[in-house]
A and B are shown apart, each in its own frame.
Chain A
């Protein structure tokens, strides 16, 4: 049911190319493009017909990284938040063409169970998630916030963390954000 990323991507491209040879005759704007970027530290190159395809769908459906979520497609909920060159970006409205040459980090690249990012560690300690669907977006937004403001005040959090969580986990998230700030400071002191 999962992990079928590689065959997937190639099917995507082949079908596209077939269709496109027909399309090209009628529409000179349709072209096949190659876009390269780094994702979670690895260089990837994707073939795409519509350079305006949101980065979200390239990450989810071509690269098969499903941790970045679709919630609204209109930059209104934050479920699709990932990092582009260290900035939190709502990838559902971010055309893939702008990703060329950039460093993209998704929740899968933020950390893993063996080596969690302080934000993930704090999320585990505070047992934040309920349904969990919004959580990657919040963690990515928080990680970007902490990179800029290592010790955010409640006010900083209120202004910067503006994603939507329907399960209402904000109360634990706030605790987890402060905890993550603590963890990040101690780990940077130790290193």
Chain B
């Protein structure tokens, strides 16, 4: 199962020793095929997303400390998704140490192991599955060889348990074995253990950062502080497209606590002795902005419309176009989703300390390398003069896939010669978010005489997701045509339908739209799976059987069918309304992880109540079932929140609301009291976990509401009329 040709080549190990610690830095070469155009579309739905977070050159650094613990410097950041725990489990099994002996920390950029890409796309565990275990196994063999020579024995005579080697009545710890070794012999990459023999992988262990998070340890970017630190604030625009022209800072300059006004060509800010003083002074700065246009929600809606812009066919089978051009017996429906905010709890910001020749930046970010490079460019430093210290993230969800705000903290620190901490306030966070783009979907279909789909077409119009982000610059658009983030989840997964196609209509909006957990999956699945329900009803078929009948007979189809069956069975899916409650069904496939959900809803005082969600998902090999469950529960609630409550509006050129509450989100009282997660493992590698379960929830709720009321809700957020 573990493919030989993928092994880390021996020469790729770099070793460096320091005092009583030793580290192994491994640079693997995992070359991803680089498909373009339609090829990419298929790749995204069939393999791990190659465009985001793929560790094609995994860089991992271990240290063995004197007291025989292992420090694993993770190239991936921990934002709640449980990656640190999974990495510790994978290391423990192959390195033969206990979980308690492993400490996982964020790799600071100066350590050299800097992730080429980002943490995102639900790829942290899947992309490190092979390289991390191979590295741990190789290290185990290296240590064993050194111990054997120190003990004057053959390596095969030694057994290992919890980081202690023993044989012939003698024992030696890993720390003793590696001590003073400067010249390492790197063996061929050993075979990995049989997955069935793993002691830690596959077990529902508690997350390794649990204690810190329960007892209030200062682990987040916003908790960082440095001696003599000052506080910065930057004036950020409220209006869409506002360009900074000039500022009158005379009033602010005399305010209490103000140390310095910072005027740069592209921003104005203030440094003060405390956060509140900086905020007050910032509010006293009068900025002149250039504003081209006062955008309104209606303007945005008219931009995001199927038929606007350039169409791009991203999936095609048979002749859907021809069959659907005949109006007779055509079934068609339109769906919409609104602008969504990330609303992660920890605002963006950074602590920066810039001296004449070095910049140290502490922050929550999903892009360590990009942040380092941007700061180096702005300060005119070499990249190795910029030291990024990533912290735990108070939520990521794609919001921190670009953290250019760290530049402002760095510039201010340089100007005052002291460390500066600069964070957004909540209004700034809402108005300067990189939003989930609004979408418009037009679906068309024809049924055959047997009540199955003859032809199906999905048109999706969306603001950019990937394009325009630093990872996929807009110049890629002419090559790729359609936005690969926007179409995520937009492909039709019922491939035994004889004729189908998906068309993406790209639209650039006047404000930043970008990655939001699961990208297009939430909106695309809402549209497609609501429409599938409408078609099943038109065909007078059970919606579960209707789906199962149109899934192809291959490996992917098998996995999708199994999760559909598992969810329907576990929930006891029925089309009947019982005790004022109805069920709704939906399924999706995202980055090769199929997921199906059944919801149970009722209506009280004209509001929708979700009582129970049954979720069946198949992410392949599961490293930590409890963490996978937690991701399902969280994604379901976040997806409910986005489907039922959340909506940003554009009013007189400003994005609004700008605070929790008016930006309605799911609270405790809205969360289902029962979430039943069924996990299947019908693939032999770990796949995506953090995003796929966001797919089905919106459609499942809308489908349940239809059964309960006869009302078809085709616009998110789902509200009863």
The interface of chain A, by Cβ under 8 A from chain B, is 1-2, 4, 7-8, 11-12, 15-16, 19-20, 23, 30, 49-50, 53-54, 57, 61, 64-74, 76-77, 79, 106-108, 111-113, 116, 120, 123-124, 127-136, 139, 154, 157-159, 161-174
Contacts and interface: CB of A to CB of B under 8 A. Distances in A.
Interface of B: 79-82, 206-207, 209-220, 222-229, 231, 256-259, 273-277, 342-347, 362, 389, 392-397, 423, 425-426, 626, 630, 633-638, 641, 659-661, 665-673, 675
B426 A67 contact: no
Contacts of B206: 124, 127
Contacts of B80: 129-132, 167
A76 to B, nearest CB: 4
Interface residue SS majority, chain A: loop
B393 A131 contact: yes
Q: Quick one: which of B214, B227, B229, B257 has the most chain A CB within 10 A?
A: B214
Contact of B630 (A71, A130, A161): A130
Contacts of B258: 19
Contacts of A158: 668-669
B225 A2 contact: yes
B213 A70 contact: no
A53 B207 contact: no
Q: Which 4 A-B pairs have the closest CB atoms?
A: A67-B216, A168-B637, A133-B394, A131-B80
A66 B216 contact: yes
Contacts of A49: 256-257
A45 B258 CA distance: 24
B392 A174 contact: no
Nearest to A155: B669
A158 to B, nearest CB: 4
Contacts of A132: 80, 209, 212-213, 219-220, 392, 394
A23 B273 CA distance: 15
A76 B396 CA distance: 20
Contact of A120 (B215, B638, B667): B215
B671 to A, nearest CB: 4
Contacts of A161: 668
Interface residue SS majority, chain B: loop
B225 A64 contact: yes
A50 B274 CA distance: 11
A74 to B, nearest CB: 5
Nearest to B636: A168
A129 B223 CA distance: 17
Contacts of A7: 227-228
Contacts of B393: 131
A139 B225 CA distance: 24
A168 B633 contact: yes
A172 B277 CA distance: 39
20 contacts: A1-B225, A15-B257, A64-B225, A66-B220, A71-B347, A72-B659, A74-B659, A76-B661, A120-B215, A129-B207, A130-B81, A131-B346, A132-B80, A133-B345, A163-B667, A164-B667, A166-B344, A167-B80, A170-B666, A174-B673
A16 to B, nearest CB: 6
A142 to B, nearest CB: 10
B284 to A, nearest CB: 14
Contacts of B638: 166-168
Given A57-B275, A168-B666, A11 B228 contact: yes
Q: Quick one: which of A61, A112, A157 has the most chain B CB within 10 A?
A: A61
Given A11-B228, A112-B215, A174 B668 contact: yes
B673 A154 contact: yes
Contacts of B630: 127, 130, 169, 172
Contacts of A157: 668
Q: Quick one: which of A19, A112, A116, A128 has the most chain B CB within 10 A?
A: A19
B273 A133 contact: no
A163 B258 CA distance: 34
A127 B667 CA distance: 19
A64 B666 CA distance: 32
Given A2-B224, A166-B395, A170-B671, A108 B216 contact: yes
B607 to A, nearest CB: 13
Contacts of B395: 131, 133, 166-167
Nearest to A111: B215
